[in-house]
């Protein structure tokens, strides 16, 4: 009985575990690479006892709707609006501007630049937006490619989102009275 227990102890010593770990890893790695396929072929299972694993969540919500300035734009003018975004999930999220939609191309929107930045202070208001040193995401409204907002939002944290709209100083006279009546900005968060 004592000899049998000694054999079992040797079998599960640290060295043995490492060897087994390396062997299994190499085997799996070779298998995955060799097949060039997906993990769908993984259909084996290992029963794990004695522990509980609970999945986290990445959840970004708008906790305060965007309120844009009611001032009408004219060439050279920039107006500001503010919103609040909250990371209500369990992991920090790198913020990015995924899309700007709902913009119809016309003489106004072709000369309209929309910019987005995250205010450094969570308590910032729209009054603080003009003083921001930079707006990491800034695009002509008709060509709004995605881009980073340069900020990581901790789990549970909120941040003020500053949105500026600027009309180019050389905007044509035909742009007068035109509008982007209902645009949508989608802010994304990616786990770092």
Q: Which of residues 81-140 bind other proteins (CB under 8 A)?
A: 81, 83, 85, 89, 91, 93, 98, 102, 108, 112
Residue 127 or 192: the one with the smaller Cβ distance to other proteins is 192
Q: How many residues bind other proteins (CB under 8 A)?
A: 72
Sheet holding 60-68, edge to edge: 60-68, 78-87, 158-167, 112-118, 137-140
Decide if 118 contacts 155 (C-beta within 8 A).
no
Site string for other proteins, 136-165 (x = CB under 8 A): -------------------------x-x-x
Distance separating alpha carbons of residues 119 and 134, to the nearest angstrom: 10
| Least spacing, CB of residue 131 vs other proteins, in Å | 20
Distance separating alpha carbons of residues 192 and 185, to the nearest angstrom: 22
Please name the residues in contact with 110: beta carbons below 8 A apart, sequence gap of 6 or more: 140, 141, 142
| Least spacing, CB of residue 105 vs other proteins, in Å | 14
Residue 46 or 131: the one with the smaller Cβ distance to other proteins is 46
Single out the residue of 117, 118, 129, 167 in contact with other proteins (rule: CB under 8 A).
167
Distances (CA, A) of 170 to 64, 94, 120, 139: 34, 35, 32, 17
| Least spacing, CB of residue 170 vs other proteins, in Å | 7
| Least spacing, CB of residue 122 vs other proteins, in Å | 16
Nearest to 96 by CA among 54, 64, 144: 144
Looking at 5-13, 119-127, 132-140, which segment touches other proteins (CB under 8 A)? 5-13
Residue numbers 46-75 binding other proteins by CB under 8 A: 46, 48-51, 56-62, 65-68, 72-75
Residue 61 or 122: the one with the smaller Cβ distance to other proteins is 61
Q: Tell whether residue 181 is a contact of other proteins (CB under 8 A).
A: yes
Distance separating alpha carbons of residues 82 and 185, to the nearest angstrom: 12
| Least spacing, CB of residue 50 vs other proteins, in Å | 6
Distance separating alpha carbons of residues 44 and 145, to the nearest angstrom: 42
């Amino acid at each position: 009985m004592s000899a049998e227990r000694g054999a079992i102890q040797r079998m599960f010593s640290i060295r043995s575990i490492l060897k087994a770990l390396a062997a299994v890893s190499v085997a799996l790695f070779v298998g995955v690479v060799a097949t060039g396929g997906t993990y769908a072929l993984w259909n084996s299972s290992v029963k794990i006892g004695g522990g509980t694993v609970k999945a986290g969540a990445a959840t970004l919500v708008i906790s305060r709707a965007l309120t844009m300035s009611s001032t009408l734009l004219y060439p050279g003018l920039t107006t500001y609006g503010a919103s609040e975004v909250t990371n209500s999930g369990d992991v920090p999220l790198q913020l990015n501007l995924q899309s700007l939609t709902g913009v119809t191309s016309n003489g106004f929107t072709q000369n309209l630049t929309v910019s987005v930045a995250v205010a450094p202070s969570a308590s910032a208001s729209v009054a603080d937006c003009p003083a921001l040193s930079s707006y990491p995401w800034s695009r002509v409204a008709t060509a709004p490619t995605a881009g980073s907002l340069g900020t990581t939002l901790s789990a549970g944290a909120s941040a003020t989102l500053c949105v500026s709209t600027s009309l180019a100083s050389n905007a044509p006279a035909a742009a007068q009275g035109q509008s982007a009546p209902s645009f949508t900005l989608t802010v994304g968060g990616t786990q770092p």
